[in-house]
Amino acid sequence: MSDQNHRPPNINITPEEYQELAKKMTPKPTILKNIILAFLVGGLICAFGQLCINIFVQLGLAREDASTATTAFLILLGALLTGLGIYDEIGKYAGAGSIVPVTGFANSIVSPALEFKREGYVMGVGAKLFTVAGPVLVYGITSSIVIGIIAYFLR
Q: Binding of another protein at residue 27 (CB under 8 A)?
A: yes
Q: How far, in Å, CA of 50 to CA of 12, rounded?
A: 60
Give the nearest distance from C-beta 58 to another protein in angstroms: 31
For the beta carbon of residue 117, count every other beta carbon within 10 angstroms. Answer: 12
Whose Cβ is closer to another protein: residue 138's or residue 145's? 138
Cβ 130 to another protein shortest distance, Å: 12
Give the integer Cα–Cα distance in Å for 65 and 58: 12
CB 41 within 8 A of CB 98: yes
From 43-51, 60-68, 69-77, 89-97, give the range in contact with another protein by CB under 8 A: 89-97
- # binding residues, another protein (CB under 8 A): 46
Of 56, 74, 105, 107, the one binding another protein by CB under 8 A = 107
| 155 sits near another protein (criterion: CB under 8 A) | no
Residue 59 vs residues 43, 66, 69: alpha-carbon distances, Å: 24, 9, 12
Cα(69)–Cα(80) distance, rounded to whole angstroms?
16
Output the smallest distance, CB 138 to another protein, in A. 16
